[in-house]
Amino acid sequence: MIDPAEVLRRLEGRGLTWPAAPVPPGHYVAAFVHGDVAETAGHLPFTGDVVAVTGRLGDGIDLAAAVRAAEIATVNALSSLADTIGGLERIVRIVRLRGYVVATPDFGQHHLVTNGASDLLGDLFGDAGAGHVRASVGITSLPFDAPVEIELSAVIRP
């Protein structure tokens, strides 16, 4: 079972903080539940009202900054997920991570950016976070000039 206090301690150890669940900037919900599966919408690397990292890989930001952006976006998605399901302790397993990475056509390390999100989930939840399937997709742009967007799917307990 996931211990929310331990998750917060591990976040702090990585220099990350738990945000309030973000309010979607469009006409959609941040997360929803269907049966024993919860899905999040895409989450950007917002810290408060500001995108923490902007630009695209291969032109303006480096891999380390993009990995950090993926971590921040993942924490935002987790916050929306926890808010929607009533707490982190209801998560049984993260089953899918989708990462969208803004990059130049010649950039080929999208998977390394998304590794930031995967590694964070493994660190926070152990096997329940590390054993997910994943997509890492290169795209040309995202809202607010964000370099990465993260979506999560999780199996939850009743």
The CATH code of the domain that includes 83 is 3.30.1330.40
Number of compact structural domains in the chain: 1
- pLDDT above 90 for 61: yes
- pLDDT above 90 for 1: no
Q: Give this prediction's pTM.
A: 0.97
Q: What distance in Å separates the CA atoms of residue 22 and residue 13, rounded to the nearest whole number?
A: 22
* Domain coverage including residue 110: 4-156
Mean model confidence pLDDT for the chain: 96
- pLDDT above 90 for 97: yes
